[in-house]
Structure 1
């Protein structure tokens, strides 16, 4: 069965215990490949990372990293970001796309940070997801990268695609179901590796296991991947 993002979904009878053992080998392989895997969004503090993560939706890290230096040079605090005229903020972030909604989310989140959290980005999942425009994915990035807290696993398009191809998710038949995929990954991946896994899978998805032309022939994880031949056989969406 072929799922979203060119993912081949293969029905197996692998037990959870067997998945954990295979996941352990995959994790070891990722640590060898990407020992320094980290968030690609340029930032100096939790607030900058929060804003950059909001901007990264439907955009690329490269585009966001071109926008944020000037943005943060002009607007250094949550209060400054909340109070800047909306049109000025939209102009600064225009190239990231969907700038109307992103500006609204950034200002809503920053206003709440300024008024309810004394200008500091909260460091708990429960508080972060109360901020406008912040759901679990963004909260996981901020908590794991800025605060060193493994509260969950970031599931973006790359992580969803690779988790499905590697068959590290089983409750989801849809590789875009981030909630189920995250839940499955959290069950088989040690908590201390949750943040690293997200960063490493994103890198591997960009460099090797792409959506349309996965380079299975040069993938060092292929021996642990049940769908390792899709790059050669073309069993993916056109």
Structure 2
């Protein structure tokens, strides 16, 4: 795919949604971090349902740590892999309290040192909370990048590097959200909704649907 086509694709996505936001609900960087940790292999809607009950009760590292593992599980038990995720959140809170004055760090190295925080989670927090250029490649972005041929790659890291390399700089800050939303609602996994897609004529996917 050439640069002109990539530019046109993201111009259209931006025009349709000039200020894209994550669908995870949060009111602080810490709330976002916890929500992203809980959202691995789970839906944003499912995480929001849990955090709507949790955050009014506990929304700081100290408050969640004080709940203890069993107390936290009462709020997270509707989310997939909640045992592991809850244990990570408790450990994460402890580390924030002990090592970071209860503040979420704004750099990749410190974020990825937290329990339950991998590269993708760190990228989401850096981009969404701290407005740094970072590309968190989830299943939606991986599919979008390969289908459209915007930035194809064999694995998530390759797609991430190709997006950072090939996307025009003016789109890098918000591209993550545009691609997730497009993949979630239009370029869906089983049968993409090509007929209602605003970039159908630019997309290089060969098996388009009506």
Sort the TM-score into its range (normalised by shorter chain): over 0.9
Is 1:226–2:204 an aligned residue pair?
A: yes
Q: In the alignment, what sits opposite 2:130?
A: 147
Number of equivalences: 210
For residue 43 of structure 1, give the secondary structure of its aligned residue in structure 2. Answer: coil
Post-superposition CA distance 1:38-94 (Å, at most 9, x none): 111000010000000111111111111111122112212112222322111111111
* Structure 1 residue 192, shift from structure 2 partner: 4.9
Contact 1:216–1:229 at 8 Å: present in 2 too? no
Deviant stretches of 4+, over 6 Å:
none
What secondary structure does 1:231 align onto? coil
Query: Which of 95-104 and 31-40 deviates more?
Result: 31-40
Answering whether residue 176 of structure 2 is matched by residue 198 of structure 1, we say yes
User: In the aligned structure 2, how far is the partner of 1:190 from the partner of 1:106?
Assistant: 36
Partner Cα distance (2:170, 2:48) in 1: 28
CA contact (8 A) 1:24 1:189 kept: yes
Q: 1:188 aligns with which of 166, 170, 179?
A: 166
Structure 2 CA distance, aligned partners of 1:92 and 1:106?
12
Within-5 A mapping of 1:91-110: 91-110=74-93
> Which fold has the larger relative contact order, with Cα–Cα distance below 8 Å and residues 6 or more apart in sequence?
1
Following the alignment from structure 2 to structure 1, what is the Cα–Cα distance between the partners of residues 198 and 4?
17
In the alignment, structure 1 residue 158 sits paired with structure 2 residue 140? yes
Please say if residues 154 and 195 of structure 1, whose CA atoms lie closer than 8 Å, have aligned partners that are also in contact: no
Residue of structure 2 equivalent to 1:36: 19
TM-score by length of 2: 0.94
Q: TM-score, normalised by structure 1?
A: 0.83
Root mean square deviation of aligned Cα: 1.5
Go from structure 1 to structure 2 and tell me whether the alpha carbon gap of 1:28 and 1:122 turns closer, same or farther (over 3 Å shift): same
Match of residue 85 from structure 1: 68
Instruction: Indicate the larger mover: 100-109 or 77-86.
Output: 77-86
Unaligned runs of 5+ in 1: 1-13, 233-238
**Deviates most, 100-109 or 79-88:** 79-88
Could you report, residue by residue, the CA deviation over 1:1-22 in whole angstroms, capped at 9, with x for unpaired residues?
Answer: xxxxxxxxxxxxx5xxx2x322
CA distance 1:195–1:136, change in 2 (3 Å): farther
